[in-house]
């Protein structure tokens, strides 16, 4: 043993070193303690925000927007991108919307409580699937159409198909706390579907700007010459 080693050994014998603490009980206690639960709701919200952001980003890209719109569905409506709209004759709303009734009859027969604006409608119609239509203006060129269709517990059943060209745009919006879509730009083709999902040809017509959303088991659509701000304001007025 060299001189330095001897000196270190001698120093070690003379140093007073305290006894090491017993860490085993504390370590075992922490191992047995259940891991803290992660905030599931916060995580779900974060995922939802990421998905919403991804959707908005995709809709901003023309190629992705076209692909997404081929499968975009909301409130019983299918939205499909096409290169060109088929020719369509002007539809007679008096027959397309359904049976003309009073508001009281619509409330009694529709199976739900339809919402109305402060302004009384020019006409009220009851269509297939219990759809209540509120007409504002005349049937030749209505100022506003409000459709409400009960959807309680209905999954993957669609009753309206929209055909859009590149001249129409789709904007995701929030309507009364629910997700919605605002379709604007060039007129698009709207056709009602029967119970088998086949188009009802006599209902095909060109529609203008439309706000679509689903709330409380009812699908809503507002149609007219609208800006997104006006459409959202009208939706908030429904009582």
What share of the chain in percent tops pLDDT 70? 69
Residue 36 has pLDDT above 50, yes or no: yes
Phi-psi region of 89 (alpha: psi -120 to 50; beta: other; left: phi over 0): beta
Q: What's the pLDDT score for residue 200? A: 87
pLDDT band at 27 (very low <50, low <70, confident <90, very high): low
pLDDT band at 54 (very low <50, low <70, confident <90, very high): very low
pTM over 0.85: no
Q: What's the pLDDT score for residue 183? A: 96
Domain ranges of the chain: 38-64, 70-237
DSSP 86: P
| Dihedral angle sign, alpha carbons of residues 194, 69, 162, 142 | positive
Considering the chain, what is the average pLDDT of its residues?
80
Cα–Cα dist 109/126, whole Å: 8
Closest CA to 226 of 163, 144, 136, 160: 144
Closest CA to 227 of 169, 177, 153: 169
Cα–Cα dist 96/88, whole Å: 14
pLDDT in tens, 81-132: 888 999 888 778 888 899 999 999 999 999 899 999 999 999 999 998 899 9
Residue 61 has pLDDT above 60, yes or no: no
More confident residue, 164 or 65: 164
């Amino acid at each position: 043993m060299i001189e330095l080693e001897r000196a270190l050994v001698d120093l070690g014998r003379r140093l007073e070193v305290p006894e090491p603490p017993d860490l085993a009980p504390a370590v075992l206690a922490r191992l047995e303690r259940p891991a803290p639960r992660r905030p599931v709701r916060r995580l779900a919200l974060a995922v939802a925000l990421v998905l919403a952001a991804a959707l908005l980003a995709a809709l901003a890209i023309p190629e992705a927007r076209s692909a997404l719109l081929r499968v975009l569905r909301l409130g019983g409506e299918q939205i499909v991108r096409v290169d060109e709209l088929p020719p369509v004759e002007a539809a007679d709303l008096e027959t397309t919307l359904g049976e003309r009734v009073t508001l009281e009859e619509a409330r009694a027969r529709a199976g739900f409580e339809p919402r109305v604006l402060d302004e009384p409608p020019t006409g009220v119609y009851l269509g297939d699937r219990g759809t209540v239509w509120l007409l504002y203006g005349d049937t030749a060129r209505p100022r506003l159409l409000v459709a409400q269709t009960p959807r309680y517990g209905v999954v993957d059943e669609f009753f309206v198909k929209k055909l859009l060209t590149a001249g129409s745009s789709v904007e995701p919006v929030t309507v009364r706390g629910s997700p919605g879509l605002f379709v604007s730009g060039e007129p698009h083709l709207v056709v009602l579907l029967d119970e088998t999902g086949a188009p009802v040809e006599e209902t095909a017509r060109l529609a203008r700007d439309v706000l679509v959303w689903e709330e409380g088991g009812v699908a809503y659509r507002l149609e007219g010459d609208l800006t997104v701000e006006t459409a959202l304001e009208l939706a908030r007025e429904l009582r």
